[in-house]
A and B are shown apart, each in its own frame.
Chain A
Amino acid sequence: MTPDGSILAGEGLYKTYGHTSALDGADFSVHPGEVVAVMGPSGSGKSTLLHCLAGIVRPDSGSVRYDGRELTTLPDAERSALRRTDFGFVFQFGQLVPELTCLENVALPLRLNGTKRKAAEATAREWLARLEVDDIHGKRPGEVSGGQGQRVAVARALAGRPRVLFADEPTGALDSLNGERVLTLLTDAARDTRAAVVLVTHEPRVAAYSDREITVRDGRVRESLAGL
């Protein structure tokens, strides 16, 4: 944990893709059990910030500290391992492996971590129940609705008991009722497990589920005072 009590903190993050600057000195931090919404218009660098924080991409400069470790200098394999063990991910769409059943999809990260299949699937089953989609466990993603699929994705992200959950527009492809239900389940579960949540969204109604929001504009973070 960092001195200020945050579990994950980025500082002075710069990242350019070609000639396009995606992050231009962004700062960020999140505490255990805290849900932080990352807002901002399209192309503002929200997703890049998430990728940097999650160790998916290495920023050009700046530091990302997770639980006392500097992520930016960690070798690729260790960052991958960290993502398997400590982080969870929910994306907007296309994240479920279409060939695997919903249950197998949820069990996948656990199995990647070395959990035995039976145990992994038992845990997965619990999480599916918690996300209220236990009935579709044997179906493939192509056979379930968007809302159900997204719940499966949330179950998958949470099943590994991540300490940080990264959610990139998790309800972007859902209607509002479904979206709200998914968000409620997601934030409730995260709070229960004291997971920090980085919730990237451009929708205020989604951001409203957070404890605090920050706005990314032109690669810089504007922390909103009102939230503090």
Chain B
Amino acid sequence: MTTLLGTRPTGSRSGRPPHGPPGGPAAWLRDLAMGARFAVTGGREGWFRTALSAIGVGIGVAVLLLACSAPTVLDAWHGREKARENLGQLHEPRASDRTVRYAQADTTFHGEPVRGRLVRPDGAHPPVPPGIKRLPGPGEMVVSPALRELLAEPGSAQLRARLDYKVVGTIGDNGLLGPRELTFVAGLDDRSAGEAYRISRFGKLFDPQPPSARLVLLTVLACVVLLMPVVVFIGTAVRFGGDRREARLAALRLVGADIPTTRRIAAGEAVVGAVLGLAAGLLFFLTGRQAVGAVTLWGVNVFPADVVPSPGLAALVAVLVPAASVLVTLFAQRSVTAEPLGVVRNRPVARRRLGWRLALPLTGLTLLLSLAWDPQAVVDDWFHVVRLALGAALLLLGVTALLPWLVEAVVARLRGGPVPWQLAVRRLQLNSGAAQRAVGGITVAVAGAIAIHMVFTTYQAGYAQAYEESARRPVIQLSGGTSDGQGTRDALATLRRAPGVTWAHGTVRASAAPAGDRGTRDPDGYRSVRTAMVTVGDCAELRRKARIGSCRDGDVFVTENRGDRATDPAFVRPGVRLNLNPPEGYEVTGPPRPWTVPDSARRVQGIRHPGEDLPGDVLATPGALSPARLQDPTMELVVGYDKAREAEAVERIRTVAFRVNPGLRELSAIDNPHDRQYDGVRTALFLGAVIVLLLIGAGLIVSTVEQLRERRRLLSVLDAFGTRRATVGWSLLWQTAIPVALGLALAVTAGIGLGTVLLTLSGAEVHLDGAVIAGIAGSAAGVVLLVTLLSLPPLWRMMRPDGLRTE
């Protein structure tokens, strides 16, 4: 609404106006400075409002800074891993004074993964990974501080028995990914000789794998979903207590400030909140960073020092947040005109248009659905990633834009009801701006949280299902290099003696190619060839793999039902000539090792045990094929256990296995690591949602109390003619509850919608965690209640007859 008064330069008639005609940077600066002064003067309440804005913006800024740190964190993490690792060199170096034999000895203790590496220097000057002064000798190890603590715990007897090395040192921080990492480096002995390879240096790691579609989806979504609410929230936070500020601007208009001036003053005030918010955000970030070291998420634990915002992005935050706060303020001022005698909201407004508000989420939805044709493309193409991010962002933004329309549309249709309800509804019909602003923040945050949550729940459900299936069978599979059949027999004997073990089976396996097949070389130089799986074991072990009937040492069998392996080993049949040294890999060593499947080999039906490997294409007794002839023979052990007989059965088996060969890998799904991560994510989402809700609640209280104060006289009148306090109290509750309920309904709808679309995109089945949605809705209800409760004492105070005094 522009009035004649508003467009006329003030003070043109007489005297010097408090604010001269607009123009020039000096006027700008003066007005901004004046606004800034208003932000910090104005008594306790003024400070409260400014502080609230600053805290709100601060939380947003802290999250933004954290997000800006993600690239550096990942870089640092990868850098640390690379610096201490060598997964094998293309051309294995020759033994020298400067080489070391290296093997992996990872283990798991009570579900916690422990990274283990084994080293045996070939000479006096071996390479040493960072964080370690001297490589440990045989029977020695160096441990990370966290592992040292874990070893010292009373419940860690099995771990102490497993890592039966003398601790000779502690790994320094530069040899760790994060302060809580459990890792050790121990001396390599003959037990793991089959696992070891020779390296001449550390600091070699494959480049990070291209992320999976799911990961890309999650990352992009997390960024958008986390940052959108932050942006909206910052927009809300800078306007905490806005009504009061507008009233002050009206007073300024009375003394002659023109509209552009008041806008600049408002902007100045917002800048102070934003700048204080930046400072608060930095403080929150630095404080929160210290806590980062104690947190392990998705197996990622990082050093606080690694959490450094990337300078460019941080600078962007520092510039954009104040700029955004000014823009938001100016945008808000657009619909509000501070007139000398009060604030004129553009009322009666033309009904809020549905068109563009609906267009936003629909465009977002369309963008997302357009990806559905080819979900895999998300991984390959940045254009698709941008579409995904933009789609999610538009959908969430659309929710915020849709809310005012929804509140208005719904509230306009409400009528009747008891007096408190009527009062609340009518109030919302007349002016629901402040409530909508606050609730808009809730809506987008909750929608985002629900969407993230759904995606997690679903992925989680997938993992959980898989784990549940495999964990139903109390079985541990172990796998590791071996040189002959005897090692396997010994290992089985040892395992069978372990308490809690009910049974144990094991074979040696390797692959074989058709004799004479040289395979093909791909452009990278990697040679691949058709292979068949050869399993060597005693008759007793082979009987578990197939229905072989009678068996004597020296027998060979060919399985018929080989399942759906990628490379079809159809070439396997009795009498076929195989090459036991298949020409696979970048470098093929040694001559072909021919072996003929005897013509006498019987065709048998293989037995598939759920959760275990396929039986193999050729089953041979050691008498027919010595494991020593195989290339890279692997022993595959399957151990059954009974927790009823021994509670620590799993840990005992692991310990026994580790002592047989530290290099044995466990291939089982006993501890679902995702479970705890899931809980962590859930807790974090929940906590985040609650913090946002509480903050918005604080903003709501401010605006409610301001509204009450404005209506002090009316409240006194209501009291005078005998209105029960409860009546007014209830109307306050409804007044907050109605927009929050609408916002939540919208948020839940949008969140579930977004989640469903995303999950459909990645081809996953949709799962909903009702408890979390109920929890978030419950927290919102709690916040509404809290806001109302905290508004009651001022309400009681203002319902006193003091307000009736006209003097």
Contact = CB atoms under 8 A, between A and B. Distances in A.
Check whether chain A touches chain B (CB < 8 angstroms).
yes
B807 A56 contact: no
Contacts of B427: 99
Nearest to A91: B717
A157 B720 CA distance: 11
Given A54-B720, A80-B724, A89-B720, A42 B714 contact: no
Nearest to A160: B721
Given A54-B720, A88-B721, A94-B713, A168 B807 contact: no
Given A83-B722, A109-B722, A98 B419 contact: no
B212 interface: no
B721 A104 contact: no
Given A95-B714, A97-B423, A112 B804 contact: no
A166 B804 CA distance: 13
B422 A104 contact: yes
Contacts of B805: 47
A169 B806 contact: yes
Contact of A51 (B416, B429, B801): B801
B549 to A, nearest CB: 89
Given A99-B429, A112-B727, A91 B423 contact: no
Given A51-B804, A91-B804, A111 B419 contact: yes
Contact of A43 (B429, B724, B807): B807
Nearest to B417: A117
A108 interface: yes
A92 interface: yes
A127 interface: no
Contacts of A111: 419
A88 B807 CA distance: 22
Contacts of B806: 47, 92, 169, 172
A95 B717 contact: yes
A168 B722 contact: no
B723 interface: yes
A97 B707 CA distance: 13
B544 interface: no
Contacts, number: 78
A65 interface: no
Contacts of B720: 51, 54, 56, 83, 89, 91, 166
A112 B419 contact: yes
B426 interface: yes
A97 B714 contact: yes
B723 A112 contact: yes
Nearest to A50: B804
B706 interface: no
B5 interface: no
Contacts of A81: 722
Interface string B404-435: 00000000000010010011001101100000
A172 B806 CA distance: 11
Given A47-B804, A117-B416, A99 B722 contact: no
A140 interface: yes
Given A112-B722, A117-B416, A169-B806, A104 B426 contact: yes
B796 to A, nearest CB: 11
B719 interface: yes
Nearest to B805: A47
Contacts of A91: 717, 720, 804
B801 A112 contact: no
Contact of B717 (A80, A82, A94, A169): A94
Contacts of A95: 713-714, 717
B804 A108 contact: no
B807 A42 contact: yes
A42 B423 CA distance: 34
A166 B722 CA distance: 13
Contacts of A178: none
A161 interface: no
A212 to B, nearest CB: 24
A83 B717 contact: no
Contacts of B714: 94-95, 97-98
B722 A57 contact: no
A54 B804 CA distance: 13
Given A84-B721, A85-B722, A56 B801 contact: yes
A66 interface: no
Interface string B755-793: 000000000000000000000000000000000000000
Contacts of B717: 89, 91, 94-95
Contacts of A57: 801
Nearest to A51: B801
Contacts of B713: 93-95
A97 B429 CA distance: 13
Contact of B722 (A84, A92, A93): A84
A99 B419 contact: no
Contacts of A99: 423, 426-427, 429-430
A100 interface: yes
Interface string A58-79: 0000000000000000000100
Given A91-B717, A112-B727, 16 more contacts: A47-B805, A51-B720, A56-B720, A56-B801, A80-B723, A84-B722, A87-B721, A88-B721, A92-B806, A93-B713, A94-B717, A95-B717, A97-B714, A98-B430, A100-B422, A166-B720
6 contacts: A56-B719, A80-B724, A84-B723, A88-B721, A92-B806, A100-B423
Interface of A: 42-43, 47, 51, 54, 56-57, 77, 80-85, 87-89, 91-95, 97-100, 104, 108-109, 111-112, 117, 140, 157, 166, 168-169, 172
